[in-house]
Homo-oligomer: A and B are copies of this chain.
Amino acid sequence: MGAKNVCLMTDKNLSHLPPVQVVMDSLVKNGITFELYDNVRVEPTDTSFMDAIEFAKRGAFDAYVAVGGGSTMDTCKAANLYASNPQSEFLDYVNAPIGKGKPVSVPLKPLIAVPTTSGTGSETTGVAIFDYEHLKVKTGIASRAIKPTLGLVDPLHTLHMPGQVVANSGFDVLCHALESYTALPYHMRSPCPSNPISRPAYQGSNPISDIWSVQALRIVAKYLKRAVRNPDDLEARSNMHLASAFAGIGFGNAGVHLCHGMSYPISGLVKTYKAKDYNVDHPLVPHGLSVVLTSPAVFTFTAKMFPERHLETAEILGADTRTAKIQDAGPVLADTLRKFLFDLNVDNGLAAIGYSKADIPALVKGTLPQERVTKLAPRPQSEEDLSALFEASMKLY
């Protein structure tokens, strides 16, 4: 790539661990100047994005390397975007209706993404997610232009993950696969944008994304429990690392829908919950957990459309569907998911992470601006529907 002045981004926990060391050694060995930015916030915010952007602007870098989970890769994508286009306002590229959702027309610098968690698939996507503190809601930037130039998916990097991080990031893979496979089909979306540059990153489910989503789901079914239980199970952790990238290619093209749309306020409105195994100084509902807790309710709701696909995913996840009726696809998949989550000791619903019925209006209000994804659900939803979905997710078992 001819890079001479590289920006290396990571978080404080990783900065002294082998995945970052390997990159620094390689840069030194190849005589490439670099600066380390290790101030990435786990579950980033607009403020933490800005900090990284300022660093990138000052450095005038000609390439970026992001080593970490989705938070790091997403922060690095934003830094590359705004440093390549210093005149732009922060909200210019943030998804509408929160931001202006402008198409990106400037060329970006090369970005190499090295994932160290197995969930986000961010190394394969043109999406960068952050908490918009002002509105207490998650949103993001979505454009093909910010997709990393190269992803280095090295399974050895996953051996440093604590079990709970493996579980939660695995739930993200699970939901990426399920949501993208059940997303509104590409030919049912409307209206067409008038110019190809206005095409959204998310196109609806299609024959290409389907392949990735289904394959990722098969790997989750086979390997997630093993990967959580035993940190030394390199076969299981390698396969989950691949599944994360596979699901990333799937949802990066097809999109996600309700589990993700509803997860943003679940994370954004966090009160005091602090997840086990996450070394951070602020309350945090890990992204994968915030996504998966609504999954039984969501897929019960969406299975009214495309029940065959819902039943097929239940079968991949281990359900015996030979005698299942097609109209029961939703409950069959929901029960399969509940069993899967119970086996992995997942908190018993939104109530267990600090929410009560009184919070539902705020959770619904935080979901409404997530149109970019919620409109990809196979079934349209009213505010009452969303309210019922949050209520049904208070308790899982």
Listed in ascending order, the chain A residues whose CB lies under 8 Å from chain B are: 207, 211-212, 215, 242, 246
Contact = CB atoms under 8 A, between A and B. Distances in A.
A176 B71 CA distance: 39
A247 B11 CA distance: 40
A212 B242 CA distance: 15
B211 A242 contact: no
A211 B215 contact: yes
Nearest to A239: B207
Contacts of A215: 211
A246 B207 CA distance: 10
5 contacts: A207-B242, A211-B211, A211-B212, A211-B215, A211-B246
A244 to B, nearest CB: 13
A246 B242 CA distance: 19
Contacts of A212: 211
- 5 smallest CB-CB distances across A and B, nearest first, come from A211-B215, A207-B242, A211-B211, A211-B212, A211-B246
Nearest to A210: B215
A242 B212 CA distance: 15
A228 to B, nearest CB: 21
A82 B67 CA distance: 39
A84 to B, nearest CB: 19
A242 B242 CA distance: 24
Contacts of A207: 242
A153 B70 CA distance: 33
A172 to B, nearest CB: 20
A236 to B, nearest CB: 14
A211 to B, nearest CB: 5
A110 to B, nearest CB: 14
A246 B211 CA distance: 10
Contacts of A211: 211-212, 215, 246
A242 B209 CA distance: 13
A177 to B, nearest CB: 13
Contacts of A242: 207
Contacts of A246: 211
A15 to B, nearest CB: 27
Nearest to A245: B208
Nearest to A249: B208
A215 B208 CA distance: 10
Nearest to A242: B207
Interface centre among A212, A215, A246 (most CB of B within 10 A): A215
A258 B212 CA distance: 29
A207 B219 CA distance: 12
A215 B218 CA distance: 14
A215 B212 CA distance: 11
Nearest to A207: B242
A211 B207 CA distance: 13
A367 to B, nearest CB: 33
A51 to B, nearest CB: 34
A115 to B, nearest CB: 16
A215 B246 CA distance: 15
